Chain A
């Protein structure tokens, strides 16, 4: 019921085109991909794009108004907000992709093993997944970060190691239905080993599912990092992150009188999360045959 599915439904002939063509026919996803590429470039080349050093203190009077030198003003300890905003993209993307890389790796391995071999392996892995899924993700992530200490790498590890069960469940169900397909049964009868069946026939068929699920998880991880950093439990100052830039607005004075200090960071987060979700929507439309109306 996504926009993409509706659009494809109306386009009619869209279903017969290849995945890439189908993706390209959904403008929001294409636009979003361009936005994400731009954000990635800014994050990668922040030191060339940013007008100032994001850590340099005392460039201008603290909490100063926006000027041509500091287009988004100066924060409470005299750092250029625009530069911090540009460097802040790094934290979001690092956590988003880093955490999801761990999630996907663990989730796919667990899901494939559980789905393909079944039996005790399946029972053990899925009971562990059930236990982790019994904790609301945000609550258990906050508790875990409180113990291991807040930092970018710890946030990546915690979100990665606590976030895999959903991927595992989705992959497992997909493997279960693949395993019952005639062609897998035939391969077994022809004497193909587990390794061959898994790597040459099961895994390639899982790629669309993994890609789509991982994309939406990236959006969630970015939101999670921002929330943690906002609470002071994520990326630690002086390293900038959109979440900890927004934390400045917990001062009523900044909130009321200096919207330029916090609104841009919030908008940046919205644009990135929105773009990732649109790309996910486009991927689902392009790759998932059941999703096309």
Chain B
């Protein structure tokens, strides 16, 4: 990772690149491996924190990453063999998103926790101070080129339409029982309760 690439990252984050240049920059980031990804995420996260912004951003980079996720077909076979280049770029987008997430996750605890607790996962039950902290979120947004619709992320409404708070809590419990007693196979991921953690529970 040299100075030129650092400048590219900076320009990418500042939305100063046109479409082709941003694609080249993303390719460069992918080629630079984990180090480049972590640097990209760190730049972005530090910039967000210094500006005092929440991590809900509608930047063009986020838009592109999200668009890449949307564009990637769910079933790559047999199309994957016939049109390998068609999904190469979306897959790269997902790789960037994942790598950014990984790097953000690695950086976030150091910014959120107290001295002596660095690198530890959030202790929601044990440490109420963390409840008020604005957690750093990873970057994703939706929409096409030029569409600045901020879709990710942390504050997006993603909850079941129960009639009120109490009913919502009752339904959360039903979903929890569904996942707990329904068992686990791994096809939905390693744990049943991902839904509770990723959905908005009121």
A and B pair up? no
**What is B's interface to A at a CB cutoff of 8 Å?**
none
**What is A's interface to B at a CB cutoff of 8 Å?**
none
